[in-house]
Amino acid sequence: MAVRVRPLNHMEQNEVNCVRVMEGGMVVVLDPNKMEGGQEEDYLRQNRSREKRYAFDHAFDENASQHDIYMATTEKLLGGIMDGFNASCFAYGATGAGKTYTMLGNTSQPGCMVLTVGELFKRITSADSKAYRVYLTYLEVYNENIRDLLNPTTGYLDLREDPVKGICVAGITEFTTATVEETMELLHRGNLNRSVEPTKKNETSSRSHAVMQIMVEGKDKTPGLSESVRVGKLSMIDLAGSERASATDNRGARLVEGANINRSLLALGNCISSLGQQGGKGKFVPYRNSKLTRVLQESLGGNSLTAMLAALSPAASNYDETLSTLRYAARAKRSEEHTS
């Protein structure tokens, strides 16, 4: 569970920065209504009651690099994937908080998805005991419908339960890339196909969950008795903005959309916390409550590892959303503690 605070952007230059990243994964949020300009350090020392503290495994400030984030999240999942286990990594946060920057990034600052693919190829090339085949898919869940971001003309796709492959999306493009540049290009093109709808809050806010899945098929190279093939799946998800539908003053279709986003995020939170509480065994895990959790079912339960990155804006005008993101993340973190 990691948190990343982005820098203030040019429109926020005159705003109070109300988030402090401390040692040891600690994040402190100051109530901007109770802050007096210029005395932030005194404030930190004296007025403890007006601040809220949250502790995570990692907390990154605006100086963190894309590589720092990668090392704290998906790098830890790669070994398992190559051994045939599933894992997932989520970016959660309000619109504009830095989810897409962190996951996809740009050509000069490639994000987690791209760095992960690059590192995976490096490791696969140097692995001498196994032969690997790798391919990736990129889809979005929007309003409880699934679309192929690499081939959006195919329309809405169905989920299918395959006896061999498990849960899969029927008819989705399976893409094989060899280089980081090609992956960046591919994902960037896919992102342009994401459903973006104008809302009052943000003209181009992403209202869909973008899911990149990397399938890693490993086969033993030693000629042997029975040839065993294991498939590991890594899912990386750039979630839709977590701000509530009401926050954007939406009506009609936009309100339905907002409700669907909330439903997915709530279902995801519920899955993670019920998995954490029972170690994935025994009690009911509500996967079926949303398309997103259905798609990710095999990457959330059993032996799967999950990393979550909560993206935050430090600006005073985003104070409410920052707090609600931290609460969601704290809940996911608590459930993780129950597992171990």
**Which residues here bind ligand ADP, judged by CB under 6 A?**
6-7, 9, 93, 95-101, 206, 241, 311
Q: Say how many residues make up the chain.
A: 340
Other C-beta atoms within 10 Å of 292: how many?
A: 26
The pair phi, psi for residue 232, each rounded to 5°, is -105, 145
Residue with smaller CB distance to ligand ADP, 177 or 202:
202
**C-beta closer to Mg ion: residue 204 or 246:** 204
Contact 121, 178 (CB under 8 A): yes
* Closer CB to ligand ADP, 63 or 126, in the complex: 63
Stretch that binds Mg ion, among 183-191, 200-208, 212-220, 244-252 (CB under 5 A): 200-208
Q: Which residues contact 46 (CB under 8 A, 6 or more apart)?
A: none
193 contacts Mg ion (rule: CB under 5 A): no
CA distances from 193 to 71, 92, 158, 235, 288 (A): 29, 20, 18, 19, 26
Q: How far is the CB of 160 from Mg ion (least distance, A)?
A: 28
Q: CA nearest 116: which of 172, 165, 73? A: 73
Residue 206 interacts with Mg ion (CB under 5 A): yes or no = yes
Residue nearest to Mg ion (CB): 100
325 binds Mg ion (CB under 5 A): no
Tell me if 100 contacts Mg ion by CB under 5 A.
yes
Query: Are the C-beta atoms of residues 192 and 152 closer than 8 Å to each other?
Result: no
Q: In the complex with Mg ion, which residue's Cβ is closer, 208 or 274?
A: 208
Phi, psi of 280 (to 5 degrees): 80, 5
Angle at 336 between CA 17 and CA 79, to 5 degrees: 100
Asked if residue 242 binds Mg ion (CB under 5 A), the reply is: no
Q: Quick one: 173 or 313, whose CB is closer to ligand ADP?
A: 313
CB of 178 to ligand ADP, least distance (A): 27
C-beta closer to ligand ADP: residue 81 or 247: 247
In the bound complex, what is the minimum distance in angstroms from residue 69's beta carbon to ligand ADP?
9
Number of CB atoms found within 10 A of residue 182's CB:
13
Can you read off the two tokens belonging to residue 335? Answer: 């459930």
Smallest gap from Cβ 206 to Mg ion, in A, equals 4
* 299, interface contact from ligand ADP, Mg ion, none, CB < 5-8 Å by kind: none
Q: Which residues are near Mg ion by CB under 5 A?
A: 99-100, 206
